[in-house]
Amino acid sequence: MFQRTLSAAVILLLLFCGSSLASASATKLAPAPPLGWNSWDAYGLTIDEADYRANTTVLAGLKQYGWEYSVIDEGWYMQDPFADKVETRKYVWDANGILIPVANRFPSAANGAGFKPLADWVHAQGLKFGIHIVRGIPRGVVDQNLPIAGSSFQATDAADKDSPCPWDEGNWGVRDNAAGQAYYDSMLKLYASWGLDYIKVDCISDHPYRPSEIRQIAEAIKKTGRPILLSLSPGPTQLDHAAEVAKYAQMWRISDDHWDVWSVPHKAGEGEFPFGVRDAFDRLAEWAPYVKPGAWPDEDMLPEGSLTPHPGWGEPRQSRYTQDEQRTEFTLWAISRSPLILGTNLTKLDDFTRSLITNKDALEINQRSIESGQGLMPLKDGKTDSFPQRYWYARTRSHQYLAVFNLQDEPSTSDLPWMVFHLEDKPHAVFDIWNQKRIPRAKALYVVLAPHGCALFRVD
């Protein structure tokens, strides 16, 4: 009896240690919200090696501020990304059905080198290398029934034709079986050998939610022995999946694709694309309790600055945001501790955007807050979304920060009690971060904001 009880205790201890090690590994991989750049908002499906290197070179000049991930988004395996159907887009894969980069767009990938030469170059800049994939196995690979490396399985053993991506016709889903796991194992083994640091997997965290494939990919990453950050897309990931996605991934999207719009009305049942800044306030507030080291609810990339030459949505353009809206977006993402992934064409980085992404206080809030959340505010008609302002607060080990946002289409003026920001009800002095000026000690915080504007303060 004693021996049986002891064995049970040992099993429980091992399970606990395994769970603790997995949590510690995720925390070590992403102890703070990831900072980086992604090609989608500026280049869409057209990114090539020359443009990627040019943007990464600019990003390397920002690494002193914490920017580190340089990510190639969708299309790097397509010879003709704008062809009218999958067959004529000419996906490129290896003998075992794993997608590889198109050599005429990524010359360093020729002769079977894959992305290793490019990843090595990124690492030499002091940065980390990332790619985007759509979950699943290419339909052409299944048609050819290619072998799965390192196993006795074939592609048809792994393919789940009942679960294709409904909005991307390139792949079938992957079955929750040994063959499916073997396929993802072979994929991540190859990509890890290139020097991959970050993988964004699409069509997996919502419409549809595919927990089996999330688990398989996370397990495949673990088997490589390489620390590869897993980012899940698109949103909105549902709140009741929070614990499960946090178990396997370090980032997961909480909205559909976010673009440079303030707000777009969406009819019931039609989804939420594109998702605007106005709608992000309440979404981020809902997810605030789930923010922790190693697990970051992701409100999507920042479509700021130059969205050229071929953005993933709409015509080439300078971001539609006013400067006030752009500052509001960056401030909200920073103080809510969302990952900060730049979408701008960095080779055309304007002074205003540069001033935001190099602001040490804003980055300090995002990277080092030990407490962050929506400030107290009155209810109007029983709903927070009808109230014209939002308040957020954050605390690092050395400072407290306050943010005030005006959601109205007209200017706002307010005297705010300090208790709104969970501060003691006594006079405080603050430093206005965006306007770089000190505000003397006062009994309340007086704030004047432009339409869709914000203010960010450090309590002195």
Q: pLDDT tens, 340-357?
A: 999 999 999 999 999 999
Residues 212 and 340 reside in one and the same domain: yes
Q: Which residues pair with 342 in a beta bridge?
A: 37, 302
Residues 313 and 377 reside in one and the same domain: no
Any domain includes 216: yes
Residues 323 and 378 reside in one and the same domain: no
Residues 188 and 148 reside in one and the same domain: yes
Domain final residue, candidates 303, 337, 369: 369
Any domain includes 316: yes
Residues 275 and 387 reside in one and the same domain: no
Residues 122-157 have pLDDT tens digits of 999 999 999 999 999 999 999 999 999 999 999 999
User: Residue 388: which CATH number?
Assistant: 2.60.40.1180
Any domain includes 19: no
Residues 375-419 have pLDDT tens digits of 886 545 445 555 789 999 999 999 999 999 999 999 999 999 999
What average pLDDT does the structure give for the chain? 93
Residues 389 and 244 reside in one and the same domain: no
Strands 444-449 and 437-442: unpaired
Specify the pLDDT at position 165.
96
**pLDDT band at 85; cut points 50, 70, 90:** confident
Residues 377 and 299 reside in one and the same domain: no
Are the beta carbons of 229 and 197 closer than 8 angstroms?
A: yes
Residues 73 and 181 reside in one and the same domain: yes
Residues 392 and 283 reside in one and the same domain: no
Total domains present in the chain: 2
User: Residue 73: which CATH number?
Assistant: 3.20.20.70
CA distances from 314 to 37, 258, 274, 318, 428 (A): 20, 13, 11, 11, 46
**pLDDT band at 6; cut points 50, 70, 90:** very low
Any domain includes 21: no
Any domain includes 287: yes
> Could you list the residue range(s) of the whole structural domain that residue 425 is in?
373-459
**pLDDT band at 5; cut points 50, 70, 90:** very low
Residues 155-166 have pLDDT tens digits of 999 999 999 999
Residues 203-229 have pLDDT tens digits of 999 999 999 999 999 999 999 999 999
Are the beta carbons of 321 and 276 closer than 8 angstroms?
A: no
Are the beta carbons of 406 and 388 closer than 8 angstroms?
A: yes
Q: Which residues pair with 302 in a beta bridge?
A: 342
- State if pTM tops 0.75: yes
Specify the pLDDT at position 378.
56
Residues 327 and 262 reside in one and the same domain: yes
Domain final residue, candidates 313, 340, 369: 369
Residues 241-274 have pLDDT tens digits of 999 999 999 999 999 999 999 999 988 888 999 9
Residue among 44, 210, 235 nearest 136 (CA): 210
Residues 283 and 236 reside in one and the same domain: yes
**pLDDT band at 24; cut points 50, 70, 90:** low
Domain final residue, candidates 369, 398, 415: 369
Check whether 13 has a pLDDT greater than 50. no
Amino acid at 95: A
Check whether 335 has a pLDDT greater than 60. yes
Percentage of residues in the chain having pLDDT higher than 70: 92
How many CB atoms are closer than 10 A to CB 314?
A: 14
Residue among 159, 161, 156 nearest 144 (CA): 156
**pLDDT band at 15; cut points 50, 70, 90:** very low
Burial 29-64 (b: 16+ CB within 10 A, else e): bbebbbbbbbbbbbbbbbbbbebbeebbebbbebee
- Contacts for 52-55: CB closer than 8 Å, 24+ residues apart: 52/118, 53/118, 53/121, 54/346, 54/347, 55/345, 55/346, 55/347
- Spatial separation of the C-alpha atoms in residues 324 and 128, rounded to whole Å: 31
Check whether 49 has a pLDDT greater than 60. yes
Any domain includes 125: yes
Residues 385 and 442 reside in one and the same domain: yes
Instruction: Return all residues near 320 (Cβ < 8 A) that are at least 6 apart.
Output: 260, 261
Any domain includes 7: no
Any domain includes 305: yes
